[in-house]
Amino acid sequence: MAQDFQSTFVVNEKLCYGCGACIALCPTNALELVGRLAIVTQDDCTKCNHCIPSCPVFALSII
Ligand code: SF4
Ligand code: SF4
């Protein structure tokens, strides 16, 4: 359920190496690991920011 249609949650594919840290943290299970890349289901992401500091390579952002 998207709450903010103005923003988009972005995974930087060049930085993400599939560690899975962000996936365990998402309260809405909007993230899943596909190969070595975190994939977000945009409709499930509430843009809560919870996962963003968990990424060791700063691959996550909300724009
Ligand atoms: S911003 Fe929140 S809802 Fe969106 S993927 Fe990260 S933890 Fe999940
Ligand atoms: S925490 Fe960062 S590197 Fe790890 S799976 Fe998530 S986006 Fe990728």
Where do the domains of the chain lie, and which CATH numbers do they carry? 9-62 (3.30.70.20)
For ligand 1, whether the C-beta of 45 sits within 6 Å is: yes
pLDDT single digits (tens) 41-58: 999 999 999 999 999 999
Confidence class for position 40, pLDDT limits 50, 70, 90 = very high
Structure tokens at 53: 């500091």
For ligand 2, whether the C-beta of 61 sits within 6 Å is no
* pLDDT of 6: 84
Percent of the chain with pLDDT over 90: 90
Q: What is the residue with the minimal CA distance to atom 3 of ligand 1? A: 45
**Ligand 1 pocket member 2 (CB < 6 A):** no
CB 22 within 8 A of CB 54: yes
Residue 4 has pLDDT above 80, yes or no: no
Q: Using CA positions, which residue lies closest to atom 7 of ligand 1?
A: 26
Distance CA 10, CA 6 (A): 13
